[in-house]
Amino acid sequence: MEYNVLWIDDDWQKQKDIIGEAEQEGINVYPFESHEEGMEELEGRLHFYHAVLLDAKVKYKQDDITTGLEGLRASRDKLIELNQKSYIPYFIFTGQPAYMENEMFEQSYGKYYIKGKDNESLYKDIINDLEKHPEMQAKLEYPEPFRAFDDGIIPQKYKPLFIKVVESLRKKDYRKVNLNAQRDLLEAIFISLNNPIPCIPGSFFNQETPNHGWCTRFIEDRYTEDGNKKGHKLNKPIPQNIKSAFRKLKESTNGYSHLSDNDTVKIPFLANMFLLMEVLEWLPGFVKTHYPNYI
């Protein structure tokens, strides 16, 4: 498995060997010279990167000619903010002799790795950190479905549902209770297509609970009446495979209520899992085309 790591270091071109060295460990390193460039790239492609390397003294802005702790501090603070929504660990990789034995630096910024001395430990710790985190493992195996969350189409509070069903898949845990989690994720998609994306009419919801039948008919671009007999139609092109995916998910996730939570439903779970990922991969393109002002 390969890991994509963003590296912020104004002097990286003099240390190109690190890129090749890391590649031998399965780590693809993408270098940037300043905090400004690195964080802009990270925010724009958060779904692509798995970790970040930070130098101790680095340029804050692209056009700066001096380096200092300001760039490191700003990157650290930005990563703390991003980690409220997505897991993106960072590692300080420095060759600055002034900081190597500085206890206050470590107290302020955490553990650091010394270039040329700790390279092997750094690569090992990056891989160990990523391998043990459920969100990162899900993202490594299925990166594209995460774009719907990273782009703000589906609120971040629903992301644990997707991680849960991926974990169930990895563990081959096909109990009906995990089918319920798939149903909750389908509901989250319906809710998100009402708010923040103004696609599905609000009258198809009882507070935040969607009527699965009405929402599915609407996504199929079929004339659908709400509880007040008011008719609605999407009138936007939806690929037939996506219409079929919503229909199958609606029927399957609602069709096993007679079973106990511990009963095994392997085939329905597997079928639903990949249909959900297909829908999640489709969503960003659909929203970008028809609701660009809401992302």
| Residues forming a β-bridge with 151 | none
- The pLDDT of residue 103: 67
- The pLDDT of residue 69: 86
Q: Tally Cβ neighbours within 10 Å of residue 111.
A: 10
Distance CA 72, CA 106 (A): 13
Q: Is the pLDDT of residue 144 over 60?
A: yes
Q: Check if the beta carbon of residue 45 is closer than 8 Å to that of residue 143.
A: no
pLDDT of 210-235, one tens digit each? 999 999 999 999 999 999 999 999 99
Confidence of residue 99 (pLDDT cuts 50, 70, 90): low
Q: Is the pLDDT of residue 236 over 90?
A: yes
Token code pair at residue 188:
């989250």
Phi and psi at 285, nearest 5°, equal -65, -40
Distance CA 13, CA 152 (A): 35
Q: Check if the beta carbon of residue 279 is closer than 8 Å to that of residue 188.
A: no
Q: Check if the beta carbon of residue 185 is closer than 8 Å to that of residue 162.
A: yes
Distance CA 62, CA 83 (A): 24
pLDDT of 18-46, one tens digit each? 999 999 999 999 999 999 999 999 998 88
Token code pair at residue 249:
């998910």
Q: State the average pLDDT over residues 197-209.
A: 96
Q: Is the pLDDT of residue 145 over 90?
A: yes
Distance CA 188, CA 193 (A): 9
Length reported for the chain:
295
Q: Is the pLDDT of residue 124 over 60?
A: yes
Q: Is the pLDDT of residue 100 over 60?
A: no
Pairing of strands 224-225, 231-232: antiparallel
Confidence of residue 111 (pLDDT cuts 50, 70, 90): confident
Of all helices (H) and strands (E), which one includes residue 30? strand 27-32
Q: Check if the beta carbon of residue 249 is closer than 8 Å to that of residue 276.
A: yes
pLDDT of 45-84, one tens digit each? 888 899 999 998 889 998 998 888 899 999 999 999 999 8
Token code pair at residue 103:
């206890």
Q: Which residues contact 162 (CB under 8 A, 6 or more apart)?
A: 138, 145, 146, 149, 185, 276, 280
